[in-house]
Amino acid sequence: MKMKCLSILFIIVLSLSNNAAVAQDNFDELKALILKEKIDSSKAKIAKTYLKRSIRKSDTLNIANAYLFLSAYDPSNKVAYIDSIINLTRNKSYYRFPAVSYLQKGVAKYESGNYIEALELYIKASETAKKGENHTIYLSAKFNIGLLKNMSGDREGALNIFAEYVAFLEQSPQYKTEYTYNRGLFALADSYIYTKKLDLAEITIDKGIKESLKTQDSIIYSYLLVTSGIHQYLINDYHKAIDSLQKGKKLIKQFDDVETRIATCNYYIGRSYKGLGDERKSIYYFKNTDTNLRKTKDVIPDIIDVYDDLRAFAKSKNDYELQIEYINTQLELDSISHANQINLTRNITKKYDAAELKSEKERLIKQFEKDSFLKDNTISFLIILSVVLVLVAIYGFRKSYLNKIRFQKLLEQQKKPKADKSEVITSISNDLTKKEDIDIPADVIETILKKLHDFEDKNQFAKKHYTLNSLAKELNTNSAYLSKIINVFKNVNFANYLNNLRVDFAVEELSTNKSLRSYTIQAIAEEVGFKNAQSFSSAFYKKTGIYPSYFIKHVKSS
């Protein structure tokens, strides 16, 4: 479920009391004066008076305090106040500044769709808050980074952040508010759903519903109802799923006109009716989802496959125009870039999917244009179509056959026993006599090769991201020697040497570790030392001829 409005921002004055003695901080004094007033304009007036007094005294910290309250109670000039705080305190080390203003500006960028700028500002807020030991701002910045990770598809990364955030609030009640705790529980429940940790999702959803009812937080209660509906759909309890989703949707409509959430509700209601075998109602809600998405022009990756169902429906009616219309809508949604996409792998996937859709669209257009002509040539058309299908089937069979052979080869390689240390030392000695002279002393080569064997044997390559220089330093040698020895004795360059080790390690772990197979490709990539799913998949395919997703699917059933 999309969490566009969940950014945690601790400019709420009750959450920003100072716990550190830095300069002469009159924050609490100003807060007490402002909280006596009930109208925002009166609160802003007090802050402006306080600002003038602080400017006369050249009191930087308390000027910033005044601007902070003004940014909360004079929204028309909010951005100007935030920028003023940043300019004033950029090189200072105050408890809340400039961290809180980086966070404020990051939330503003996030809500306007500038995710890359938001990320940079969140990181600055996190770093400066950490230096100032301001746990409140540090955790809220990290929470917001978790939202960005969610949007980029890094569900596991987001889950870790939300779990840490909720645990911190539960263990540190002085930082816990109804606002932050309820949103933390929802974000955590949402992440459990999308990482398929359904038991933990159910526990967190129940806790969140109890908390939101107790605190009368109708917004989060409605979101959790929808999340509960998605959970019930995933465990095949379709009737309960429909009930929860309908109730959640009704509540959301009362206070939120962002139809992306309504689209999510309609999508999962449609999926639930499909699970019950009610095709008519399923298509009705899928069409409503399409209407919501067309209205908002907002991309929700988790539900975009609704167009697969809608195209299949149009195809069953032999409605070429409707099929093309759905393809055009999906292509339009896929082409929308929310002001810089965060995850490169996700972009590449989208481009690939878009190319496939364009190809299908072109085929359908040609078929539609020739439809009237082909009515008189049905037999010829069927023959051509049959030939095409046979060729596709042959291609698919050949590809499947080659993949199976490569898969079996990988499994057989795993069964081979590893050489013991004495065999490795003997092998190294033999290599030294066989290899050409590379202008490096033999004893140095032998030492480095033994250290490389230990490096490989202990799977150190999976523990951090190595460069040639960092590994050379770790092995107490220089990068020139190390590079030359790897090229000559391992027959690959340094980058491919590391990639091959990591791919072999991934194959070994996936063959023996059942729990690892349930991880996302991104999570597996990180476990074996790669930075992202794309580089892992590319290296895996380059070495084995198959993709990791294929290997995981078949190793589960082998």
Confidence (pLDDT) at 21: 41
Residue 249 is encoded by which pair of tokens? 């949707």
pLDDT over 70 at 224, yes or no: yes
Is it the case that residue 428 has pLDDT exceeding 70?
no
Average pLDDT over every residue of 11-21:
45
Lowest mean pLDDT among 64-78, 344-358, 468-482: 344-358
pLDDT value of position 204: 95
Percent of the chain at pLDDT exceeding 70: 80
pLDDT at 417: 62
- Work out the mean pLDDT of the chain and round it to a whole number: 81
Residue 184 confidence (pLDDT):
92
| Beta-carbon count within 10 A of 398 CB | 10
pLDDT surpasses 80 at 521: yes
Structural contact between residues 506 and 528, judged by C-beta atoms closer than 8 angstroms: yes
Read off the pLDDT of each residue in 359-388 and give the average, rounded to a whole number.
66
Q: Which residue has the tokens 């959640």?
A: 248
User: What pLDDT, on the 0 to 100 scale, is given for residue 406?
Assistant: 76
Is pLDDT of 437 > 80? no
Segment 22-44 mean pLDDT: 82
Over residues 45-102, the pLDDT tens digits come to 998 998 999 999 888 888 988 988 888 888 888 889 899 999 998 888 888 888 889 9
Tell me the two tokens of residue 495.
Answer: 């980058």
Residue 127 has pLDDT above 70, yes or no: yes
Q: Is 118 helix (H, G, I), strand (E, B) or coil?
A: helix
Query: Tell me, what's the pLDDT at 281?
Result: 95
pLDDT confidence of residue 545? 86
Whether 468 contacts 479, CB under 8 Å = yes
- pLDDT tens sequence across 265-317: 999 999 999 999 999 999 999 999 989 888 877 667 778 889 999 999 999 98
* Amino acid at site 526: E
Who wins on pLDDT, 346 or 235? 235
**Nearest Cα to 506, choosing from 558, 453, 547, 446?**
547
Q: Which residue has the higher pLDDT, 506 or 403?
A: 506
> 274 or 5: which carries more pLDDT confidence?
274
Most confident of the ranges 132-136, 263-267, 420-424: 263-267
Q: At residue 205, does pLDDT exceed 90?
A: yes
SS3 299: coil
pTM of the model: 0.56
3-state secondary structure of 7: coil
SS3 letters across 511-558: HHCCHHHHCCHHHHHHHCCCCCHHHHHHHHHHHHCCCHHHHHHHHHHC
Using alpha carbons only, what angle is made at residue 199 by residues 195 and 201, rounded to the nearest 5 degrees?
Answer: 55
Distance of alpha carbon 88 from alpha carbon 98, whole angstroms:
8
Residue 17 pLDDT greater than 70, yes or no: no
Looking at per-residue pLDDT, the higher value among 299 and 503 belongs to 503
Structure tokens at 384: 């051509």
User: 159 versus 430: which is more confidently predicted?
Assistant: 159
pLDDT surpassing 50 at residue 342: no
237 confidence band (pLDDT: 50, 70, 90): very high
Residue type, 505: F
pLDDT category at 427 given cuts 50, 70, 90 is: low
Q: Give the contacts of 386 (CB within 8 A, at least 6 positions apart).
A: none
Note whether 314 and 323 are within 8 A (CB): yes
Residue length of the chain:
558
* Cβ neighbours around 12 below 10 Å, total: 12
- pLDDT over 80 at 508, yes or no: yes
pLDDT band at 1 (very low <50, low <70, confident <90, very high): low
For the domain made up of 421-557, give the CATH fold: Arc Repressor Mutant, subunit A (1.10.10)
Q: Where are the domains of the chain?
A: 304-369, 421-557
Position 107 confidence tier, pLDDT thresholds 50, 70, 90: confident
